[in-house]
Amino acid sequence: MRLLLLTLVALPLLFISCSNSEARGDSGGSAGRAGSMRDNGHATPAISAQVGSKEKARLILDHDFGIVPHGEQREHEFELDLSLLGEPHVPLRVHLECSCGKAEIRLRKPDGTDRPIDGTGFPRNLPQEDERAIMRITVDTRKKEAIDLPKAVSRGYILLQPLDDTTGMARIRWAFLVRFGIDAPVVLHPFAAIDFGSVAQSMTGKRLTTLRGDDNHPNVKFTSVKTTDIDIEATLEPDEDHVVVRATCSPGALGNHRALILVKTDIPDYTVALEVSWKVVPDLEASPIDKISISTHLNKAQPERMMQMQSVLVTDHNRHRSPEFVVRNIVGNDGRDVTSLFAVTLTPVPNKNRQQRMEVRYLGGLLNGEPAGPTYSFRGKIVLTKKGDGSADIAPTLPIDLVVFQSRTP
């Protein structure tokens, strides 16, 4: 029994979600490994009676949904024979690694009524004498992009806990396999999903892709389009044997966003859903953070080699103007202008035509000849503005926090 439990724990560690092991020839041996499956869906793993036999690995459950038309759902139920595990084990929850799949465990009475398990190891989550443990798996292809996918394997496990285990340290995993492929009736090219990337608040993102029926649906018609977010607009433009889907992003709130473009077709109950993603960023941005910290001796200038270690990347996402920044001033939180006490360089970043690297070096003079206390620090801002964009009071600015500490090293 101990070997059986160790086998159940070890097997799922070898699995990778939605792999293409079917293509590598796993299908030929899967039936033998998984044991037999009756027509009524009951799992009947072949278990060797020989103590210590590796044949007990055949407890793995396996179901093949075949090729599923995109936009449809499929369900399958396994009846779980918990007696195969020997001592009583309480099912806690089930995990399926495929993003378009859902799995759950129910306890079913003869009249078909179900009750859920609550995820605890208490006896109430064991089947009663008139109940069966059922695992239901649902595959919803609408959660996948509208592209053909060859049959692949999704892996999962049921987490169980021995009834006499009060700590949860002896939990095991009962592995299962789900196989399916997807047949989409349409062809999207070059994108099955649209990613606008980073969109500056003052800009508008534009993307397009094309849509047509596949070889089995050459005459499909695309009748209307709508989106699930007011910041995304989409239009359909017929063009020869396909339709052009034009998408526009008018950025709103800062941050990451997701939406759907929904294209209705004349195929009954079928709508093409294109996932859309974008990130709204400010026009002027400093990364990885908008702050530079310097630890140095405040009574002398830093060596030049320190500049490369005291830097940030600054980006102007507005493509309607020059990407170059200039330093407007450096000012302390107390209002003191200390621009002359720091050397600042701005250099283009290779292959990033909207980005510059800003490096800073302290030149001395913050103390004006006074000794620095052990807790002294200078706090202020380096204020960048745009080159040739007019007077400083109306030009856009990018403030970057500047903190200078007294070094504790001699």
| Distance, CA of 214 to chain centre | 29
How many Å apart are CA 115 and CA 110, to the nearest integer?
Answer: 12
Residues 335, 375: one domain? yes
Q: Decide which of 168, 183, 198 is a domain's last residue.
A: 183
Judgement on whether residues 156 and 22 belong to the same structural domain of the protein: yes
Q: Is the dihedral of CA 70, 71, 72, 74 positive or negative?
A: positive
Handedness of CA 30, 33, 34, 38 (dihedral sign): positive
**Looking at the structure, do residues 218 and 313 belong to the same domain, yes or no?**
no
The domain that holds 326 is classified in CATH as 2.60.40
Q: Is pTM beyond 0.95 here?
A: no
Residues 24 and 155 in one domain: yes
Q: 334 with 350, same domain?
A: yes
Structural contact between residues 197 and 175, judged by C-beta atoms closer than 8 angstroms: no
Number of DSSP helices (H) and strands (E) in the chain, helices first: 2, 26
Distance (Å, whole) CA 9 – CA 173:
5
Query: What's the rounded Cα separation, in Å, for the pair 284 and 397?
Result: 8
> Quick one: which H or E segment has residue 34?
helix 27-34
Q: Which two tokens stand for residue 100?
A: 């378009």
pLDDT by residue for the chain (410 residues), tens only, comes to 444 444 444 444 333 344 443 333 333 333 333 333 333 344 434 333 333 333 344 468 999 999 999 999 999 999 999 988 889 999 999 999 988 999 999 999 999 999 999 999 999 999 999 999 999 999 999 999 999 999 999 999 999 999 999 999 999 999 999 999 999 999 999 999 999 999 999 999 999 999 999 999 999 999 999 999 999 999 999 998 999 999 999 999 999 999 999 999 999 999 999 999 999 999 999 999 999 999 998 889 999 999 999 999 999 998 888 999 999 999 999 999 999 999 999 999 999 999 999 999 999 999 876 766 667 889 999 999 987 645 445 789 999 999 999 887 65
What's the confidence (pLDDT) of residue 299? 87
Residues 252, 144 share a domain: no
Residues 237 and 150 in one domain: no
Choose the final residue of a domain: 281, 305, 330: 281
Do residue 116 and residue 235 come from a single domain?
A: no
35 and 122 inside one domain: yes
Residue 49 sits in the same domain as residue 89: yes
- The answer to whether 184 and 216 have CB atoms below 8 angstroms apart is no
Closest CA to 234 of 213, 203, 205: 205
Please give the pLDDT value at position 47: 34
Domain-terminating residue out of 281, 297, 313: 281
**What are the backbone angles phi and psi of residue 305, rounded to the nearest 5°?**
-65, -15
Same domain, 290 and 274: no
- Residue 257: CATH number of its domain: 2.60.40.10
Q: Find residue 227's DSSP bridge partners.
A: 261
**pLDDT at residue 21, as a whole number:** 39
Our count of domains for the chain comes to: 3
The pLDDT of residue 11: 41
Distance (Å, rounded) from C-alpha 70 to C-alpha 72? 6
The residue segments making up the domain with residue 141 are 2-183
Whether residue 190 has a cis bond before it, omega within 30° of 0:
yes
Same domain, 247 and 327: no
Bridge partners of 332, per DSSP, are 380
Residues 253-263 have pLDDT tens digits of 999 999 999 99
d(CA 262, CA 1): 53
